[in-house]
Homo-oligomer: A and B are copies of this chain.
C-alpha cells in the first residue's frame, strides 16, 4: 500500500509524496473521514513525520487545496491563447480545463467535491478560485457579446463545465475526450440548443465562430 521507496529522502521530495497521498486519500474519503494514519500509511512514512512537515490536518488539507488550485489555474492559464478572440480564448481555456481535470481526477475531486463542503476555512479558499474563474469567463463573455446578464451566464457556463467534468469522470463507456467536452460545451453555450440541431461544430477550428453560420 505504502509508497515504500527509499528512506531518507530530501524534504521536498517527501513533502510531495505526502501531498500526493493526502490528495488521493481526501479525494476518496473526504476531509473528515480521511485519517492521518491512513494518509501517513499511504505516503509510506510515519505519522510524526507528516506532522513535522505539515503541522496539522488542517494545514495539510489547505496545502492540498493550494497545490491543486495552483495546478488547475496554471493548466488553464497555459492553455488559453492570449490575444485570440474571446471565443477562441474560451475554447482553449475549456480544453485546458477538461484535460487537466481528466488527468488529475483526485485533485479535481478535492477542489470541487470536498473542499467546498467542508466548511469555513476551506470553502472560502476554493470560492476564491472559482470566482476568479467566473470573473475571467464573465470578462470573455462581455468582450464577445456584450450581453447583459454576464454574471448569470458565466455562472451557468462554469457550472456546466464542472458538471461535464464530473460526468466524464464517471464511466460513460468511451469516456469523452477533453476536446469533445469542450466542443459540446462551446456549441451548447455559444450557439444555443435551438441551433445545435444543425451544428456540426467540433471546436472553433476556423477563426471567428465556434458554430459556423
Interface residues of A (CB under 8 A from B): 28-33, 113-114, 116-119, 141, 144-149, 151-153, 155-164, 166-167, 172, 176, 180-181, 184-185, 187-197, 199, 209, 211
Whole-angstrom distance between the Cβ of A139 and the nearest chain B Cβ: 14
So how many copies of this chain end up in the complex?
A: 4
In the complex, the answer to whether B193 meets A144 with C-beta atoms within 8 Å is yes
In the complex, the answer to whether A189 meets B188 with C-beta atoms within 8 Å is yes
Listed A/B pairs (8) with beta-carbon separation below 8 Å: A30-B117, A113-B116, A145-B194, A149-B196, A152-B176, A152-B180, A156-B160, A156-B163
In the complex, the answer to whether A30 meets B118 with C-beta atoms within 8 Å is yes
| Interfacial chain B residues near A33, Cβ < 8 Å | 32, 118-119
Q: Chain A interface secondary structure, helix, strand, loop or mixed?
A: helix
In the complex, the answer to whether A145 meets B184 with C-beta atoms within 8 Å is no
In the complex, residue of chain B having the shortest beta-carbon distance to the beta carbon of A187: B149
In the complex, the answer to whether B172 meets A164 with C-beta atoms within 8 Å is no
| Interfacial chain B residues near A29, Cβ < 8 Å | 119
Choose from B31, B32, B117, B147 the contact partner of A197 (Cβ within 8 Å). B147
In the complex, the answer to whether B190 meets A147 with C-beta atoms within 8 Å is no
In the complex, the answer to whether B149 meets A184 with C-beta atoms within 8 Å is yes
Whole-angstrom distance between the Cβ of A57 and the nearest chain B Cβ: 13
| Interfacial chain B residues near A190, Cβ < 8 Å | 192-194
In the complex, the answer to whether B156 meets A188 with C-beta atoms within 8 Å is yes
